[in-house]
Structure 1
């Protein structure tokens, strides 16, 4: 069965496989069941039996390929990619051939299995209104054909009329119901992913709005005063110098305010980042379990500890969302042995190497590891099967180190900017 791309972070791959096997298994079983007696019946001419076997094989193959293509197109009426017309035509031809063969052998009970199954598969590629028009029209046609054939052979026509029509309707209902379940699951997953992305984009928009307000005001004043100084440079040089001095002051203020905005955006706290990670991971459909020492989280860790651990939490959360198929994540934080320890673990790591999880050079984790080492701490990450674990440790009391190495906090901030 060809695998269609499925969004990470959920069990949709397994659900898709379950849906495929359910649809294909039910269809193949009933198709084989409808003709098995005639294929094994020695009273039926060999050419007819061989034709039934060939039609059965063609129909089953076409159904398998059509279902595989259908599960890659969501929702049911999505225009994303053309339907497999050749396989649909082949399946329709095979199902019709099965119906004709059984009808010719006066099997008025099972002859409509082939047409009903293939029509239900074809209907899944149509918009809802046309889908039910096709199924209803096929049901009416099956009722007419079955009734006329039974009447012409001198047998009762009531059952031969009602059974084929009911079979077409029931088959269509069951097939579309299975596909509807898959569609709902996929749309729900897309909504969770979109919610997580919107949470990140909202924060970026907030930062952009703050930066625009600060920069827009200062730049507008700088532009006006620069224009005024240019006009005064010949007529009133002293005034022009004063205006340019003011421009210089405004530029320094703009730089200071911009740094303050960036610092406020980037100087995260561990408590804020843990709360944000809980919301974002939940929005992405990931079961996030927090094992936290509340006293440690709300306690006062010396600077730049909360900032650094907050950045580790943010980077680990980003990696879970972008570079894994995680279903579960665990976050642990406690202070023990004089160290503040933060651990973030998740499952769903792809088989191939993923630089987003720190396996390649120049990643966010490697950069953070250097900054934690400068602060006297340590950042490690490891892969264990399909799990990825990020562990950060910082001294709970960094007063002595800061006095011995006063450049730590300043260097950290320069690196952040």
Structure 2
């Protein structure tokens, strides 16, 4: 399970503190190693003081450059500190060379210089810069050893310390950067999830309550007109308004809870009832085909959106809903008359197109005189077949023949 946001942020702060003290603490550790080498050398007091002072200044300046990198400040100052640190490293090694061959006390400070040099580059190029810098330092030490300036021990210590110190510093910073990017990605994913949930809620609320509220409005208008002419029928219309209001309330609660399941057959029956209440002759399929849940939801939303639109924006007298299956695709078409002139696309059709597109389907709508045709096509999910034995799988192939099935219809008046 992923960590809670508070725990994740706390862990990132702890990792930041740990990385800071690990990287900055490399300086004192490197200086301590250099002092141990100096204390065990055979240098004179003056050369020992010069070498110790040079090592201290070099390590302090390089540590300061790393601190500036950590806070994202002073790229120019970092290069100045690094340059002075390199000069002090060379002068300290020269002071030791006056008393004999140079030992390995300068390997750890050189590793810090290599790490700071690699951090000048972008993250994608740091590994290459680190490798090239380590190879350059090792090659220089080998050449100096061949000239007699460095001892064999210095070569061995350099081979061990320079890659170890430099890689440790760079990798610590890289680990923290990766953790920070993951935390940012987690926050972005949370924001996207909230935005997606808001869009889902808005779409569900529009799809569900649009048709219900429009039907309630029509029923209330009919009841108002009949209250003085035919009180019994007006009372029946008001009972229908009450039932629709209760259904709308139930649907709203299910949307809020996220539990509502959209079934194509239920949406077709609901559309037939709403159209019948509005005095529209509706021709709908007798039964919906057996489809997976996601496909039924998409096609059900199309039927719901078409019903809402034709009641809200048109003055139809007849509407037709058809379902056609061709091979691995299902197409639902809703046609009605009494459509007004096109004035643009509403939010409902836009959201519907987006949902069909995500599922690999299409939504088309056409104005033909006073007829409005809304057609949605979506691929059916592949059926889950049991494991087929090899001998059956190798049966002689047959030419595929497109299958076209049209659901039978009934008329609701």
TM-score by length of 1: 0.43
